[in-house]
Structure 1
Amino acid sequence: MKRTCFVCATMGNLIKVLSRDIDNNAGNFFLDFENAEASWSEKEVWEKVNEVLKEARVILDELQAYAGAGEDIRLAIQSPSEEGVQERAWSAVLPLVAKLKRFYEFSHKLEVSLRCLLDIFTSPEAPPTQQLENKQALARQFALILHFTLRFDELKMTIPAIQNDFSYYRRTISRMRINNLCGDADTEVNNELANRMSLFYASATPMLKTLSDATIKFVSDNPEIPVENTTDCLSTMAGVCKVMLETPEYRSRFTSDETLLFCLRVMVGVIILYDHVHPAGAFVKTSNIDMKGCIRVLREQPASSVEGLLDALRYTTKHLNDEATPKHIRNMLSNN
């Protein structure tokens, strides 16, 4: 079934959002998630990010189809002296490790794309909310990156074969190295790269961690840019998604569950990034994100659809358990 860049084709035309700008003046502005086209000023960055998003679609398809080499590995472990069994397991694991390597390397491309977009949305030329409004094609790409990130991590958490396959690969490589049998296999993923990949896949949400770290690094690498420029951009995106989800007029235009999940993933993604970047986090009363409203929107969905997103808020945010977090917010995110 054909996807539409994992974003809904029916998000409505211009979505009206009430948002506070950096001068704290209430104002109306619009984000067009459906029909926004890149202007000449956006075109260069848009094309670069679009190439990454094209690859992202392929990555998701490959991850969703990832079957693992569990049976071959099991037989190899049970019959360590049978050379044919060992060769079959090794032959099954090698292409999978190559795929895992590609996923890992793609995370760096995603990081570069995120930083490119943050460069634009935090530019001193205009407030972040105005940048989002004026560069809606890039705002849409920002949302697509977040959607991919949450979707990748959701899928990864359901595929234990990933870490099992890679662990088997590393054990086998170590044994081959000891016996001087490495040959060309060792050049696929050398020891240094294997260590980095192990850390990456050890995270429950590796792509989200990559983006969180990248956003933090963006802020620290650009001290001349007020941190509010970044957090205002993120809180605005959270507000856009929340309004789309809680307003019947907009929800009625959604024609599929994937449309709904797109908005939910983007909303959760920007909340997590905001919580990692803002000194006080996303959960305090003074936060520019309506956390109560965002969690309520999540809770209104079928539990099977959003449990992974709720877990992302529970376990990958930084400030949820701070004393400053209101008790009712923690209660809303409890597992009860």
Structure 2
Amino acid sequence: MRDEPLLHVALPSGDPAVLVTRYKDVRRLFADERLSRNTSRYPASRISADNDLFGDPEIDNDPPRYLVERAVVMRAFSARRIEALRPIVREITAELMDAMEAGPRPADLMEAFAYPLPILVICHMLGVPPKDRAKFRRLIDGYLSVTALPADEVERCRVDYWNYLSELIADKRANPGDDLISELIRVSEEDPEKLTDYQLQHWVKTLLIAGYVTTASQIGTGTAVLLHRPEAAADLKADLSLVPSAVEELLRYQMMGTSLGSLRYALEDIEVSDGAVIPKGSTVMLSVESNMDEETFPDACALDIRRQDNHHMTFGAGIHFCAGAALARMELQEATDGLLRRFPGLQLAIPGEKLVRPVGGFLAGYAEIPVVW
């Protein structure tokens, strides 16, 4: 990746794609309208042979339509609203740590803390009954299968998830509340041109997925990376004011997602660094590994919790910058600060190199993270 601005790779489906490696190219291409996100409308390569994942020919993910829908959704993720949520996140964090402390040791950080925290937060935001969290977690995990599940099971999860959301939205229409789904319903009813019923359900589906699984993966995996480096963990424990910069560095260093999430289709030939050209008709991935580009991040392979000007690509850029980035950052800050304050002796119960990656899913987290304190 250091040597070449473009790499020709194979997706898990076996289909070909072009991987853009340089930070400056990746950042620029996030805003380049010659790369379409409507991969289901073009003969683009598939991520998985058994799962369409995010492909939906009824949804337009390109400007100008995308910008109209995004503007509606972004109102719910304003800085003021996210900060107003912080005390609630802090309370949920404390309750989960209470249960973790009272439970068996070693504890699995993923099951005891990393998974339930963002699930409870996104349930609160969207107005999803907490009793449904185990159900929609199972359905989302199936929805995000790349190679983990057979095609018929993936399809069953996709259908059941869509039907579950239909029932949830119908209930919210009948019994609106002070939550994001109810607000999106009001916008849709006032101006269907901004948000049709189908688009409303699509965004609820997307927000539930993004609000749960990516943040859960980063809470667990980022904590594991930190604990695997005792000197960095000790440095942070000694000065918890460094938590915000440490969170950004862990986002850069241990990406919660993969470049599969940035799949695009090239509508024209596009030139990048060193005169290399993305051919028209190519399926393109914008590399999140560009976070390791030494031209942008000095000593990129070192974890530096004091790193400044850390403009990583983990949340994307431009018009496709992650809508929930502020929420994820706040949850990660509260989770990291809370764990280190409550459990100053927190450490991995097994050597970090023995942690096991899940196979066949969309995200590169860990299946389990046993910890003691």
What TM-score comes out, normalization by structure 2 length?
0.24
Q: Whose relative contact order is higher, 1 or 2, with alpha carbons under 8 Å and at least 6 apart? A: 2
Q: Between Structure 1 and Structure 2, which shows a larger proportion of strand residues?
A: 2
What TM-score comes out, normalization by structure 1 length?
0.25
